Structures are given as structure tokens and as C-alpha cells.
Amino acid sequence: MIRFFKYFYYSNLLTSFSGALLSFGILTKLKIQGANWYPWFLFFAVLVTYTYQRWRRYMLLKHTKSEHILWINSNKLFHLFIFIVGVVGSLSFILLHFTAFMKIIPGLLIPTIISIWYVHPFCGIVLREVPYIKSFLIVFTWIALVLWIPSYLYGIELLDGLHQTIVLFFYLFGILLLFDLRDIEYDSQKIKTFPILIGEKFTKWLAFYCFLLVVFYNLSTGYMHLLEMIPVFLVMGCVFFAKPKGPVWYFACLDLLLAVQGLFYLWSQ
């Protein structure tokens, strides 16, 4: 069971599944019609992106004893298989929905460039290594992929899009602060992140206040129902259990809470 869990988590299947389900929930909440194919495409696209980025990170850090790096070292063929599945799946949905896909190519270019530049140097700069912008880049990319791109393709009310953008920003930023806290020992060698700047204690409080802002924002605007905020309360309860080099199951739960958020969006409709 533990072996299966590690395969699911370290192969990026969990992250891809959570992102796709979150997007499906958001599209359903915003009543966007005809976009049911998009979360499937997103699943495979995220799988390709994260698998490649993890491989790139493995090539740079394979001398370290990170559990994730050790897992990749022991499962290179499976890692390659997952990458191929992602490529084939992405291309399949592109071909099946080619007309729609052609319309979102301009929107996909920026997240694609960020994803490549995030791990590859351009003009001597790797975006991941630019001080204190790592989390903002990831948040921007996720919001673009799960909300802005399908919204541009199928259209939504501007106010609904603004509400969802604000909610997603603070929700995702809070979660990414906890992931940065996990990586603080590896990042401190070359990458400056908020946990390195403000320390473990204040990082947890900053993440907690991000989730609290989501709650207060929704209470004041009425954008999310109380049922839809249950995952936010759950992640708030997890914040102070975060720690550097924390257990795999804890961060897998943070990933999974994105999928849970998508499910609660679906159930509340």
C-alpha cells in the first residue's frame, strides 16, 4: 500500500489529478458549458510538465538524499513511462479538440514559457532561482491553467472570474508557502524563498492568514457557499503541522485538498 502511494505521489499523478479536478469543479461552479474536455487535457499537460521538471531537478540534485530524488533514481523507467503517457494524452486531446485548442494557444504560451524557464536558464537566469518569486510564478501558472484559459475560451461573467481569481490566489499561495517550508534546506543552497526570509514560525502564520483571508473574503462577498469552504477549513487545520523535510503523507494531503476543493464545488451545485 505504501509502495503504491509513493508511486502515485512521486510520479505526479496525484498533483495532475488534483489540478484537473479543481479545474472541473471551478468550471462547473462558473457554469462554463462545453469545457468538460479541458480538465482531461490539463491532467495530461500537468503530468508532462511536472514529470519533466522533476527529472530536470533530479539531474541537478541527484547527489542529494531527498526521498523524491531517491525515488526517481530507483524508478527511472516508470518516470519515463509516465512522461510518455502525459505526452500521448495531451496530444490526443489536442487533436480531438483542435479548433478549441487553436484559440487558447496564445493563453498557453505564457504558462508554457514560465514552466520551461522555471528549470532552464535563459540569458543566464533560471526563474526558479530569482529571489522570492518562486511561489508567485507557480500560483500565476496554476490560476491561468485552471481558470483564465478555459474562461477566455468559453466566456464567464467578469465579476465571477475576479472572485475566483482572488480566492485561488490566496488559497494556492498559502499551500505553496507550506511546500516551500518543506524544501527550505534544499532551497537555501541556491534559491531564496519566503520561509528562508521569515523563518518557519512566521511562514506558518502567513499561510494561515492567507486561508483566513479566503474565509473572510467569501463571508463578505458570499461568493462561496459554506459547504465549498470546508476544504479551506481543513487546510487551515493542517498548517501548523508543516515542517522542513516533513512526511510525504502530509504534503500529499495538501495536494489532495485541491481535488477535495474541486469536489465540494461540484457537490454544492
For the stretch 101-128, pLDDT in tens is 888 888 888 888 888 888 888 888 888 8
CA distance 125 to 106: 24
pLDDT of residue 188 exceeding 60, the answer is no
pLDDT attached to residue 2: 66
Beta strand ranges found along 51-207 (DSSP E):
none
pLDDT attached to residue 68: 77
Instruction: Return the closest-CA partner of residue 59 out of 34, 38, 79.
Output: 79
What share of the chain in percent tops pLDDT 70?
95
CA distance 138 to 115: 9
Share the mean pLDDT of the chain.
88
Burial (CB < 10 A; 0-12, 13-18, 19+), residue 109, is exposed
pLDDT attached to residue 1: 58
**Confidence band, pLDDT 50/70/90 cuts, at residue 214:** very high
Instruction: Return the closest-CA partner of residue 90 out of 37, 141, 54.
Output: 37
